[in-house]
């Protein structure tokens, strides 16, 4: 197994189990304005910036309301959504195997970067209870002043690789969302996707076009990586 030059990590749904909480917050906000969101719609919001999600939810509300009723502004929508999200996200738990995966990268001497659509303040809120995430010092946030476009554009991964001083094509990227997977794929990374449990095999190809490396769990990935590295060392010895 050839190790990458660096590992680039998404945060929500990949390292922290926040996506159901984000979904709950968007669902409650949309319902407040008269529209329930489907499972496929909630999946499509994953990995995107808060403002991009708000724009999409407002478009869905406009479809439901028609021309007769005004659509809430972004500010009005977020005024409902943000307090719900903040109350939920501080309770987010690690994805099983996530601390161990970062520990494996650290033992291998692999540079790491966070490539997230979440704002700096949101990341600070979510990561505060999780000191193991301090292993990732280099971070690109969704509101980073150097970030031109959010996921599914490749910019966040290209910028993360640039800050580590490596080529994105030599990196492994870890994602859970369709938007994030597409961004990492377009950046040229070797993409590993941890998809939502509820998706059937035929739905994976539809939701994640071009992706071939799906993970069943991070714990299994770590066990596989450790076995591969042990075999490589034994062979070299």
From CA 127, how far away is CA 86, in angstroms rounded? 12
Q: Residue 138 is inside which H or E element, if any?
A: strand 138-140
Q: Is 176 a catalytic residue?
A: no
From CA 25, how far away is CA 184, in angstroms rounded? 26
Q: Is 10 a catalytic residue?
A: yes
**Radius of gyration of the CA atoms of the chain, in A:** 18
One of 12, 144, 155, 176 is an active-site residue; which one?
12
Q: Where are the beta strands (DSSP E) in 180-234?
A: 190-193
Q: CA end-to-end span of the chain, whole Å?
A: 15
From CA 113, how far away is CA 137, in angstroms rounded? 7
From CA 163, how far away is CA 231, in angstroms rounded? 32
Q: Which residues are catalytic?
A: 10, 12
């Amino acid at each position: 197994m050839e190790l990458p030059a660096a590992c680039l990590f998404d945060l929500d749904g990949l390292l922290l189990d926040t996506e159901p909480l984000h979904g709950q917050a968007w669902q409650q906000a949309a319902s407040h304005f008269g529209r329930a969101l489907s499972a496929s719609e909630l999946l499509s919001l994953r990995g995107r910036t808060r403002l991009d999600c708000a724009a999409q939810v407002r478009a869905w509300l406009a479809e439901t309301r028609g021309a007769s009723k005004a659509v809430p502004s972004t500010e009005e929508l977020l005024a409902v959504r943000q307090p719900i999200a903040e109350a939920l996200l501080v309770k987010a738990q690690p994805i099983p195997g996530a601390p161990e995966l970062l520990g494996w990268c650290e033992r291998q001497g692999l540079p790491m970067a966070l490539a997230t659509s979440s704002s700096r303040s949101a990341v600070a809120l979510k990561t505060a209870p999780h000191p193991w995430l301090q292993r990732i010092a280099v971070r690109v946030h969704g509101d980073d002043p150097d970030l031109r476009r959010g996921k599914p554009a490749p910019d966040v991964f290209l910028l993360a690789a640039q800050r580590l001083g490596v080529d994105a094509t030599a990196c492994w990227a870890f994602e859970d969302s369709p938007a994030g997977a597409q961004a990492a794929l377009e950046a040229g990374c070797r993409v590993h996707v941890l998809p939502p449990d509820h998706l059937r095999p035929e739905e994976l190809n539809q939701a994640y076009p071009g992706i071939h490396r799906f993970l069943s769990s991070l714990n299994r990935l770590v066990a596989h990586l450790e076995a591969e590295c042990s075999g490589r060392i034994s062979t070299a010895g």
